[in-house]
Structure 1
Amino acid sequence: MVSPVPGLPTGMVVGTYDDYPTVQRAVDYLSDQKFPVEQLAIVGTDLRQVERVTGRLTWGKAALGGLASGAWLGLFVGLLLGLFTNEGWAQIILFSVAWGAVFMAIFGVAGYAFTGGRRDFTSKSVTIAARYEIYCQHQHAAQARDLLAKLSLQSDRPTS
């Protein structure tokens, strides 16, 4: 059985795929065929971290981002506190939203000030693998390969 502890998987490579949706479809197919999928591990190799720059970060954007996240957090806290009161719950929610927005706007501006201009942009990061491999425990590897070969034959058939 595959160790539940993260680390390098054991077993044999039974399939290699170019993208995650394809490897996901392969494991889903194995599951549909009643294969013991707990014997599998999906391993992404040749990892790259891609960071897309989405814009400039300014004092206003730092404050606005903090204000928006603080308002949402305040709304959540206000709703929770409102559960424990019989009257004035609307005031509790409004004050929670307002205070959350104010404090988080201050924290957003302070955080931006502490960067000292070293990161004046916003971005989103994602880790991408160039290839995905399915590892399988030795005692089930032959069955996994056979099932994946059938899937490959089904995928290669022309549709008409």
Structure 2
Amino acid sequence: MNNKRTSRSQAPVIPQGEVIGEFKTYAEASDLVNLLIEKQFPGGQIAIVGKDLRTVERVRGKLSNARVALGGATTGSWLGLIWGLIFGTNPEAVTTQDAFAPVISAVFIGAGVGMLINILRFAFSKNKRSFISQSTVVASKYQVQVPRNLADQAATILASKTLE
């Protein structure tokens, strides 16, 4: 039996190594990683470490019964369309209108059911908020790290970039 652990099954750890760049945005750190990889630096040895993490919740809009109903109708319509296409088409129908009538009915029934379920769920929810938001985790700075034994190779690549 093989007890070797792969990198996928190992518990996450904070990478140790030399910081070769520190940036205010993730995009800037990512640009440095792209440069290193383009210059044949081993990509599996690079880490972008976010420091001073914060959760940011951005309010996207007001949540009302109408918005909840519209969201439910949209989801229900898609489910009804899929249901209708799978179970409702009639290949033996004389006209195209007759063939797709069950599909159209399924879309409208799905919209109604989806709307009803969403409105009931919203009405009975205990954590009732009147807004929609999206949470993200952001860092105040991003560090690009490489193992100590590869720091000189990374520094050489960075020096050649500044000379260009």
TM-score (norm 2): 0.74
- State the identity %: 33
Root mean square deviation, CA, Å: 2.9
In structure 1, stretches of 5+ residues that fail to align are none
CA drift at 1:64: 1.1
Q: Give the 3-state SS of the residue equivalent to 1:55 in structure 2.
A: strand
**Which amino acid in the other structure matches residue 14 of structure 1?**
I
Say whether residues 1:3 and 2:13 are aligned partners: no
Match of 2:113 among 93, 100, 103: 103
Say whether residues 1:47 and 2:57 are aligned partners: no
Count of residues in Structure 1 that have an aligned counterpart in Structure 2:
152
Structure 2 counterpart of 1:19: 25
Q: Give structure 1 regions of 4+ aligned residues with deviation exceeding 6 angstroms.
A: none
Q: Give the 3-state SS of the residue equivalent to 2:66 in structure 1.
A: helix
**Which amino acid in the other structure matches residue 95 of structure 1?**
S
Say whether residues 1:119 and 2:129 are aligned partners: yes
Match of 1:65 among 54, 60, 71: 71
CA drift at 1:42: 1.5
Say whether residues 1:33 and 2:43 are aligned partners: no
Larger Rg: 2
Contact 1:9/1:41, CA 8 A, preserved across alignment = no
In structure 2, stretches of 5+ residues that fail to align are 1-5, 94-98
